[in-house]
Amino acid sequence: MKELMLYLHVPFCVRKCNYCDFLSAVHPEETRERYVEALCAEIRARGKEYSGRTVTSIFFGGGTPSLLLPAQISRIMDGIRETFPVSPDAEITMECNPGTVKSPENTDGEKTRENSDGERLQGDTAEEERLAGYLQAGINRLSIGLQSANDEELKLLGRIHDYEAFLRTYQAARAAGFSNVNVDLMNALPGQTLDSWKETLEKVLALKPMPEHLSVYSLILEEGTRFFTWDGEGKFTGKLQIPSEELDREMYAHTGRRLRETGFEQYEISNYAREGRECRHNYGYWIRKEYLGLGLGAASLLDETRYSNETDLRKYLKDPLAGRTAQPLGRKERMEEFLFLGLRTCRGVKRKEFQECFGEPLDQYWQAVIEKNVADGLLLDDGEGIRLTARGMDLSNYVSAQFLLEE
């Protein structure tokens, strides 16, 4: 039976962050409930089309999925299990933001406990109970959005939490029983220095127990975000003044060195994991596994066709199956994707796998490009395949652009 990954988009947030260009907005609880109903309807309908596939990973992204109640997540998971065969060892991830997991019926209870090292921890019982509800619903991997351990940087980003709120959520997640936790971080922030970035990294590495996975991204100024046209207090006009490319690369290099020292292995340009804790779902994207996107604006890759769901919330709530567009991928697009997605991974691109997929040798198309980038110190070629060097990862977009085929 063919494998399938599921992505479920939850387009709700408490407040739009200043850097965010994702499809999300602030909506009341009534709209969230209507959305859950529409999403469950889409799951049932799409299941009829793709029921002959086993689901190996599920990812709730957003937006802020942790704005949905455990009972709502449970209903969605029940709908998936009733519709698709789900592998017993499926990785099921939910993104979670600090400050969004307090139960409305219990918002101020606290308790103190000890961790495995005998340290006294204070956590919010409401958060712990709500997170335990997600675990009971079937979520077995949590991805917590910290971004920075510096409160001033968090404020500039427009986050709704400070570092102490993150600590409470992290401790509550561990107390609730989550044993596979990712922490999202962001560097190259406006005004950020190498020292302040090092401090964020050290605070995360001091967590007990240490996260199983870290995702570390450099800030990108996306059009349509507040950051893109920031003019707060007249300090900026146009694009924000962010750290130089040289400082960005210095932060990136330090991150790789420091995480290796503490037992993390880099397996993709922006992702690091302890042994055996790589994100199977995201890795599936980079090796072009098939996935079905469900929810507002969700994307899919099925039978070499890319699909995109309706992006207008009102239209989606009215008919979650309408407005879906399809883009069949030609041979050229598939070969290009195989290269630039594969090069994001530290494993790189294997010649044998390219040959098996396309029936032709990799070097037939890109021998000159490969030789040039090897000579420039951006690619390593061991005969079996190619992968980015450390410097190549710094310049990955430049390298990948060279693998685009002419019409």
Tell me: pLDDT of 124 over 70. Answer: no
Handedness of CA 9, 15, 20, 21 (dihedral sign): positive
Handedness of CA 192, 193, 196, 201 (dihedral sign): positive
pTM higher than 0.85 for the full model? yes
Beta bridge partners of 291: 5, 301
Q: Which residues of 116-133 are buried (b: 16+ CB within 10 A; e: fewer)?
A: eeeeebebbbbbbbbbbb
| 278 Cα distance to chain centroid | 12
Instruction: Name, in order, each residue with C-beta under 8 angstroms of 382's C-beta and a sequence gap of 6 or more.
Output: none
Tell me: pLDDT of 112 over 50. Answer: no
What is the spatial order of strands in the sheet that 349-350 belongs to?
A: 349-350, 385-388, 379-381
**Cα atoms in the Cβ-side hemisphere of radius 13 Å centred on 389:** 13
Phi-psi group of 357: left, alpha or beta (phi > 0 → left; psi -120 to 50 → alpha; rest → beta): alpha
The count of other CB atoms within 10 Å of the CB of residue 24 is 21
Beta-strand relationship, 53-62 and 2-10: parallel
Tell me: pLDDT of 19 over 80. Answer: no
**What is the Cα–Cα distance from 60 to 281, expressed in whole angstroms?**
11
Phi-psi group of 72: left, alpha or beta (phi > 0 → left; psi -120 to 50 → alpha; rest → beta): alpha
Model confidence over 143-184: pLDDT tens digits? 999 999 999 999 988 888 999 999 999 999 999 999 999 999
Radius of gyration of the chain (CA): 22
Q: For residues 79, 141, 175 and 203, what is the CA-based torsion angle, rounded to 10 degrees?
A: -150
Length of the chain measured in residues: 407
Is the Cβ–Cβ distance between 96 and 143 less than 8 Å? yes
Is the Cβ–Cβ distance between 66 and 94 less than 8 Å? yes
CB-based contacts of 315-323 (< 8 A; 24+ apart in sequence)? 316/35, 316/38, 317/31, 317/34, 317/35, 317/38, 320/38, 320/39, 320/41, 320/42, 320/45, 321/41, 321/42, 321/45
The count of other CB atoms within 10 Å of the CB of residue 375 is 9
Distances in Å between the Cα of 108 and the Cα atoms of 128, 172, 355, 381 are: 12, 14, 60, 58
**Percent of the chain at pLDDT above 90?**
77
Three-state SS sequence of 138-176: CCCEEEEEEECCCHHHHHHHCCCCCHHHHHHHHHHHHHH
What's the pLDDT score for residue 364?
Answer: 94
Task: Provide DSSP, 125-136.
Answer: HHHHHHHHHHHH
**What is the Cα–Cα distance from 352 to 386, expressed in whole angstroms?**
11
Q: What is the mean pLDDT of the chain?
A: 90
What's the pLDDT score for residue 101?
Answer: 82
Largest interatomic CA distance in the chain: 65
Tell me: pLDDT of 273 over 60. Answer: yes
Q: 61 in helix, strand or coil?
A: strand
Sequence-ordered alpha helix ranges (H) in 206-293: 245-261, 280-286
Question: If we measure between CA atoms, which residue out of 260, 132, 244 comes closest to residue 193?
Answer: 244
Domains of the chain, each with CATH number or no CATH: 2-286 (3.80.30.20), 335-407 (1.10.10.920)
**What is the Cα–Cα distance from 223 to 218, expressed in whole angstroms?**
16
* DSSP-derived secondary structure letter, 225: S
Model confidence over 286-331: pLDDT tens digits? 999 999 999 999 999 999 999 999 999 999 999 999 999 999 999 9
Tell me: pLDDT of 106 over 90. Answer: no
Phi-psi group of 401: left, alpha or beta (phi > 0 → left; psi -120 to 50 → alpha; rest → beta): alpha
Model confidence over 42-83: pLDDT tens digits? 999 999 999 889 999 999 999 899 999 999 999 999 999 999
Model confidence over 216-266: pLDDT tens digits? 999 887 777 777 776 444 344 455 677 888 999 999 999 999 999 999 999
